[in-house]
Amino acid sequence: MSLPRSDRPVGQPAEYPNRLRLGTLAPMRWLAGFTSLCWLALAAAPARAAWLDRTEAIMGTRVYVQLWAEDPDKGNAAIAAVMEEMRRIDALMSHYKPDSQLSRINQRAALEPVQVDPELFDLIKLSTHFSEITLGAFDITYASVGYLYNYPLHVHPTEQQIQAALPAVNWRNLQFDAVHHTIRFGHPGMRIDLGGIAKGYAVDRGVAILKARGIQHALVTAGGDSRLLGDHLGRPWLVSIAHPDEPHNPDKVVTRIPLSDSAVSTSGDYERYFDEDGVRYHHIIDPHTGHSANKVRSATIIGPTATQTDGLSKTAFVLGPEKTLEIINRMPDFDAVFVTPSGRMLYSNGLRPPKPRPAGAPPAPGTSSPASSTH
């Protein structure tokens, strides 16, 4: 799903009538009856509340922040603080930057334990939790093979190269020392890459910064990972899932889901890829085979935080939609939408339309959830 994908407008209010009150009408009428003295006072008041937004290129992707600011100066300062935080995380965790702490791990951890900031240590440790619950589908050591691909240059490894590198792919060979915050590789040739979770983490950090500054309605997006803070002034945000065949066509979306106070991550085989001899080589790698994982074309996970939804959004590509739905349906607070290679859509239990009820039966409680009303 691409919802708030970075390259398309994301945060649009739901297109259906607002079931909550329209908060602007009463104050307008109230103002209309005021004297000119009051208008003077208003003129001296701070600039008017407004939606603000900004896009920047950070972490190799587009970062987008949209928020409702009672005071535009404070709103712009809050957006700048989020962007600054994303740059800080990128400098710490990028595998493209040779002097990042993550690159230091890749350079040294096969030789000796490498000490890192507790923040990076914790995220790497958390990554192994997602490896565990996804039965190894999410594995940051995928990079031991993943570095052999170069999508913009249309480069992919030979089968021989893959087989030579594959033994180094195994998250269980990451050795942690929680006292000294060191990480060591237990196998030669290992590499790690946080590209599958760091954007979600950065989005959560961005939302924490906005909350601390008193912002109550906002959208923060980095790549395929988004989080919605509050609602869109009384209406839910409307999140569109892009169609894998036409991901940039806003008129051809898979579905639209109204959401508030949630995170949502979409992974797609159309994000970074090239096609060769009828095979799509794309950026989500099956850690068991070293090949691009193709059991779905698009996977969207909805949940409480973007770190979690990012850590889960690669699973269906590797395990397949049915097995992944079994996992997601066992996790309270999480939902999923998958698009299979044949174009079929699969939903988790929380997003399924209610089953038709026998004639005369009383209405089932809770059948009018906004998510299930979208399809």
Residues near ligand ADP (CB under 6 A) = 61, 138-140, 142, 193, 195-196, 199, 223-225, 265, 267, 271, 283-285, 287, 310, 313-314
- Contact assessment for residue 203 and residue 221, using Cβ atoms and an 8 Å cutoff: yes
Burial class of residue 278 in the structure, from the number of CB atoms within 10 Å of its CB (0-12 exposed, 13-18 middle, 19+ buried): exposed
- 225 near Mg ion (CB under 5 A): yes
Whole-number Å distance between alpha carbons of 189 and 155: 20
Binding-residue pattern over the window 292 to 331 for Mg ion, x denoting contact by CB under 5 A? ------------------x---------------------
The least distance separating ligand ADP from the CB of residue 241, rounded to whole angstroms, comes to 14
In the complex with Mg ion, the residue whose CB is nearer, 6 or 170, is 6
DSSP 358: P
In the complex with ligand ADP, the residue whose CB is nearer, 225 or 231, is 225
Angle at 232 between CA 231 and CA 234, to 5 degrees: 75
In the complex with Mg ion, the residue whose CB is nearer, 75 or 268, is 268
The least distance separating ligand ADP from the CB of residue 140, rounded to whole angstroms, comes to 5
The least distance separating ligand ADP from the CB of residue 47, rounded to whole angstroms, comes to 35
The least distance separating ligand ADP from the CB of residue 142, rounded to whole angstroms, comes to 4
* Helices marked H in 213-241: none
Q: What are phi and psi of 279, to 5 degrees?
A: -110, 135
Total residues in contact with Mg ion, by rule CB under 5 A:
4
Match 């779905």 to its residue by tokens.
296
In the complex with ligand ADP, the residue whose CB is nearer, 243 or 283, is 283
Question: Hey, which residues between 65 and 124 contact Mg ion (CB under 5 A)?
Answer: none
The contacts of residue 149 (CB under 8 Å, 6+ apart) are: 155, 156, 157, 281, 283, 285
In the complex with ligand ADP, the residue whose CB is nearer, 12 or 127, is 127
Whole-number Å distance between alpha carbons of 362 and 48: 48
Whole-number Å distance between alpha carbons of 282 and 152: 10
Select the span of 18-26, 146-154, 174-182, 192-200 touching Mg ion (CB under 5 A): 192-200
Q: How distant is the alpha carbon of residue 157 from its chain centre?
A: 28
The least distance separating ligand ADP from the CB of residue 265, rounded to whole angstroms, comes to 6
In the complex with ligand ADP, the residue whose CB is nearer, 4 or 230, is 4
**Residue 314 interface partner, choices ligand ADP, Mg ion, none, CB cut-off 5-8 Å depending on type:** ligand ADP
* b/e burial code for range 57-96 (CB count within 10 A of at least 16 → b): ebbebbbbbbbbbeeeeebeebbebbbebbeebbebbbbe
**Residue 309 interface partner, choices ligand ADP, Mg ion, none, CB cut-off 5-8 Å depending on type:** none
Residue among 4, 136, 224, 244 that touches Mg ion (CB under 5 A)? 224
In the complex with Mg ion, the residue whose CB is nearer, 235 or 313, is 313
* b/e burial code for range 141-173 (CB count within 10 A of at least 16 → b): bbbbbbebbeeeeeebbeeeebeebbebbbbeb
- 231 near Mg ion (CB under 5 A): no
Binding residues for Mg ion, rule: CB under 5 A, are 199, 224-225, 310
